[in-house]
Amino acid sequence: MSVRPATSGGPLAENARIAVIGERGAPHDLLLLAEEVGTELARRNAILICGGMGGVMEAASRGCRNAGGLVVGILPTESAQDANPYVSIPVVTGMGEGRNIIVVRSAQAVIAIGGSYGTLSEIAFALRLEIPVIGLRTWVFSRERGESDRIVRVADAKAAVERALSARG
């Protein structure tokens, strides 16, 4: 199933499913970054998966939809009406933050933008499941055993999308 043809001249990412995660209360600069990520995903014909609510999720959704892309929102609530206005397909779970595992498992790669503890849980799920995580100004952590942070760090939206598309399994 093809959503629509790619429009950027970049690599065709037909049916790529990329999650964008981040906090609801993100500052303006992170919201702009999230919107750029959404736009870049749409330009490459990728399907954006997110938690379907506000903040980073809404900004990424807006960028994707405004560029003609498809947005799947995995909602924590019991009503599709709770989705941000840019969600194409609301998936109602009624699971609260338990829906975070569904967001991650539905994606081939994850782009984390900023983030609060909900974002941290999604990063942890992705790393545990060996789903690539691309980070834009997000969590940094390490373990005492000297293991390095496995988040791939990038500086901008275009690089985040390019890395997510090339890293997906």
Domain that holds residue 90: 17-140+148-167
CATH number at residue 83: 3.40.50.450
Asked if the structure places residue 159 within a domain, the reply is yes
Separation between Cα atoms, residue 146 and residue 80, nearest integer Å: 44
Those residues whose C-beta lies under 8 Å from the C-beta of residue 163, and which sit 6 or more positions away, are 109, 132, 134, 152, 154
Q: Is 167 exposed, middle or buried (0-12, 13-18, 19+ CB in 10 A)?
A: middle
Asked if the structure places residue 120 within a domain, the reply is yes
pLDDT of residue 13: 44
For the stretch 29-62, pLDDT in tens is 999 999 999 999 999 999 999 999 999 999 999 9
pLDDT of residue 5: 43
pLDDT of residue 146: 64
Asked if the structure places residue 57 within a domain, the reply is yes
pLDDT of residue 55: 98
Asked if the structure places residue 2 within a domain, the reply is no
Asked if the structure places residue 114 within a domain, the reply is yes
Q: How many domains does the chain have?
A: 1
Across the chain, which has 169 residues, the per-10-residue mean pLDDT values are: 43 76 96 98 97 98 98 98 98 97 98 95 96 95 73 96 90
Asked if the structure places residue 4 within a domain, the reply is no
155 neighbors 96 (Cβ within 8 angstroms): no
Asked if the structure places residue 68 within a domain, the reply is yes
Asked if the structure places residue 103 within a domain, the reply is yes
pLDDT of residue 150: 87
pLDDT of residue 147: 64
